[in-house]
Amino acid sequence: MSTIEIIEAGPYTSIQDRGRFGEQRYGLGPAGAMDRLSLGIANVLVGQAPGDAAIEIGPLPMTFRVTEGVVRIAVAGAVRGMTSDGRALSGHETILLNEGDRVQMRAASQGVFTYLAFEGGIRAEPVLGSLSVHARAGIGCPYPRALQPGDRITVGGASTRETERLLPPLAETHGPLRVVLGPQDEHFTPAAIAAFLAADWTISSTSDRMGFRLEGPKLEHAKGFNIISDGIAFGAIQVPGSGQPLVLMADRGTTGGYPKIAVVISADLPRLAQMPVGSKIRFAAVSVAVAQLEARAMAVTLAGLKDQVREIGGGELSSAFLLGANLAGGAVDALE
């Protein structure tokens, strides 16, 4: 086994896996990765299961060093510059680090959350079946909170294989976020539902892992803004008395007493999670049948990630090598 030490970390950097399920009836939400697709990509690259624990890095910089052993990592999700002692590093491919190596990851330039996975996984004792940190509940392992400078994490040691691996980025999806209307869409006027689907919404600076607040036109309730509290799914969109929607995310509460105008389909949640503060989003209504088909397609994608991993070797050059090779260094002016 090996050990890394956190040198710098922002407030939204924590250990997350696929989540903790089966406890909502007791008032404990599942937590888990905001972008489970990127979590899966990082894990599969280092030979782990898609839902295994990794470090979820928020939009701010993060730095760590290997304090013991040899570590193999992979990074996926939000794009950010990465270096190790002056050597440029790339996402979507495995990287071998030796004892003493220091990795600096700059603030995200595209997206919000980046996932740092380790060959051999993170070694810690699960809490109710998961390592995921739920900061408001004060649970998670090895630290039941956001990571801080000085924290040490035990990970599996790197194997002795001679080649590294890469997984080409998946095709990007664009267009409106798809939602299923309800379960309390009857609590809104027809004009409010039309406005909800027609407006350009802005993600507020008050957003976090619990929920993304949206700024836009005020949505009018037809039957008041209080209901008997009921269960809340990842992606449910509540509309409180202010008329401004709130998309509930990984650290949401288990129940809520505001009517929900719609729910973002599970296949589009990774894309929403990677939209930074200030992003403009729109919604498009689809049927439950479409949402189920897209959920199955995403499950197939996650299960098939391992089949897309390729070895870097046999003459294939990694992106990190190409970026560091100064290939244009010998260029001359053709007009001279």
pLDDT score, position 173: 86
| 166: its two tokens | 């890469």
- The mean predicted confidence, pLDDT, of the chain is 92
Of the candidates 280, 259, 264, 246, the residue with the CA atom closest to the CA atom of residue 189 = 259
What is the arrangement of strands in the sheet containing 14-16, beginning at the earlier edge strand? 14-16, 54-57, 110-118, 71-79, 95-97
Q: What is the pLDDT of residues 108-157, one digit of tens each?
A: 999 999 999 999 999 999 999 999 999 989 999 999 999 999 999 999 98
pLDDT over threshold 80, residue 265: yes
Distance of CA 52 to the CA centre of its chain: 13
Q: What is the pTM of this model?
A: 0.91
Which of 20-29, 228-237, 253-262, 317-326 is the least confident region?
317-326
Distance CA 74, CA 117 (A): 5
Instruction: Flag whether pLDDT at 283 surpasses 70.
Output: yes
Paired residues of 213 in beta bridges? 246
The model's pLDDT over 292-328, given as tens digits with 9 standing for 90+, comes to 999 999 999 999 999 999 998 644 444 544 444 344 4
Residue-wise DSSP of 226-291: ----EE--TTEEE--TT---EEE-TT--SEE-S-EEEEE-GGGHHHHHTPPTT-EE-EEE--HHHH
The CATH class given to the 177-286 domain equals mainly beta
Domain residue limits, the chain = 2-167+312-321, 177-286
